[in-house]
Chain A
């Protein structure tokens, strides 16, 4: 049996998820070389073409090539998804870590505030932030990152509570290490598996949320290629030509399936070890 079939057998979600993500990543990174047309290249005479020899996936309402725009749309999606989760980790991990480590009243107060933020549906939170700042790609990233921080803080805090009475933490304290060093140098490395699981599951959600914002006109602005925005623009014309909806829709669904499978696979793998 080859290594590949063995990997698939051992953890099918991880293997299939990795495969999908590898394809998505390769296609988006190589987009400038693979794309047959320019991203913003319009050809009014070729509006609403069906898939064919000239345009493999057809064209949209401005005659722009759908294959090209779907490829480049992947760049926006990955940038927003990964960027937002990175921001969420940057905010959520220190908050959760410090709150759990401090314990007592401080922990109680911080967690109440986190609960209040968590009691906002995430998309509503993102909508509120985007409203306050104005609609743009950067603000969408910021909004989704901030909206995901409370959830991350909660997970990190509960994991910190589980670890902070372990002997290695007591030893570091007895040795006189600073609180900052104990938190980030001793406790944080032990929290990496749950953090990795949480992050990999959240990327799919962040991509979905950013596409939703763009679909509502509150995220990525035209003429940037973005799947949510492409679907927004396809909306008026779906009965004329379904392709401007189906191409980005399928790409979006496939990418999110990839991240969800990958996240579940990573969880099974890491949980199995712990």
Chain B
């Protein structure tokens, strides 16, 4: 296991460096330099060049990357051009808000999806299985912005108005407003993710229920409950771990859309704001943070998988 962890750590470090390079290069080629953005379109070429020199934009590419990366590592994340604040001051709260949303959604998914998937697998081919499968198919196929807006239409409309249509309330404003602002965006993410995990749990369990050791357990007279809980679920849930990890990537993308739908102040909306305002320092750091979070989450999932299934470690 130690060797496996070391190997994976090395590889994640390499991937993180590559990610930072991709982000830097992609955003570096943005038309219109940062200097034009600050001074406006009508600035004289001389003043532009002077500012570019001050900002270090005339230096070789490798040096600029090194300077940026050095700043990121040492905690100097640059200065947001549009918000006129240090990026570190902006990012903290948004990151927490997005994490909150993601955690709510993931916990809800894990609590609902595994029992639903198990139920479907046990009733394979019956109408309940068919209903759960059809539901999860629709869940996968409806884009999250449609799901979110339909939820707003039904639950936040003038007639019912159970929840606010969007925005965010700090915990300081009280538990109720805080929670009520979280419900709809978290529910939207949950509905989309639920489908993936239900399908994976079902197919993992169906496969395991046909295996020889489950038949052995059945032949030795174990109760159905014991067979499912002790024997089948333990192995059947393994693939679901990977799917949840893959879904994190989906969650990161989905969070951009869902935060936009519900005007929720998290990383996703911050990225959109930075894009709309061509705020390069803010955009680079926010995208890097989201991508790095995803990479690290995947790394954690790999380790969890290897811990649960020793065969993986020795490949």
Contact = CB atoms under 8 A, between A and B. Distances in A.
Contacts of B275: 127, 131, 218
Counting chain B residues whose Cβ lies within 8 A of the other chain, the interface size class is: 35 or more
Interface stretch (B35-43, B100-108, B135-143, B231-239): B135-143
Contacts of B18: 112-113, 115-116
B141 A134 contact: no
B26 A129 contact: yes
B172 interface: no
A119 B291 contact: yes
Nearest to B145: A215
Contacts of A131: 26-27, 30, 275, 283
B56 interface: no
Contacts of B291: 119-121, 124
A132 to B, nearest CB: 5
B22 A116 contact: yes
A256 B146 contact: no
Given A128-B287, A204-B141, A212-B145, A120 B19 contact: yes
A121 B290 contact: yes
A231 B149 contact: yes
B137 A119 contact: no
A245 B18 CA distance: 40
A103 interface: no
Interface in B14-39: 14-15, 18-19, 21-23, 26-27, 29-31
Contact of B26 (A115, A128, A216, A235): A128
Contact of A120 (B22, B144, B153, B250): B22
A208 B250 CA distance: 12
B257 interface: yes
A211 interface: yes
A125 B30 CA distance: 14
Contact of B137 (A116, A123, A124, A261): A261
B252 A253 contact: no
B143 A124 contact: no
B298 interface: yes
A260 interface: yes
Interface string B278-306: 00000100010011001100100000000
Interface in A84-117: 112-113, 115-117
A208 B27 CA distance: 24
A225 B283 CA distance: 30
B92 interface: no
A122 interface: yes
The 10 closest A-B pairs by CB, nearest first: A123-B253, A116-B18, A249-B146, A121-B252, A256-B141, A121-B253, A257-B141, A121-B249, A119-B295, A253-B142
Interface of B: 11, 14-15, 18-19, 21-23, 26-27, 29-31, 137-138, 140-146, 149-150, 152-153, 157-158, 249-250, 252-254, 256-257, 260-261, 271-272, 275, 283, 287, 290-291, 294-295, 298
22 contacts: A115-B15, A116-B18, A116-B22, A119-B19, A120-B291, A123-B252, A124-B252, A124-B271, A127-B275, A128-B27, A212-B145, A216-B257, A216-B260, A238-B152, A242-B153, A245-B149, A249-B146, A252-B146, A253-B141, A256-B141, A257-B141, A260-B137
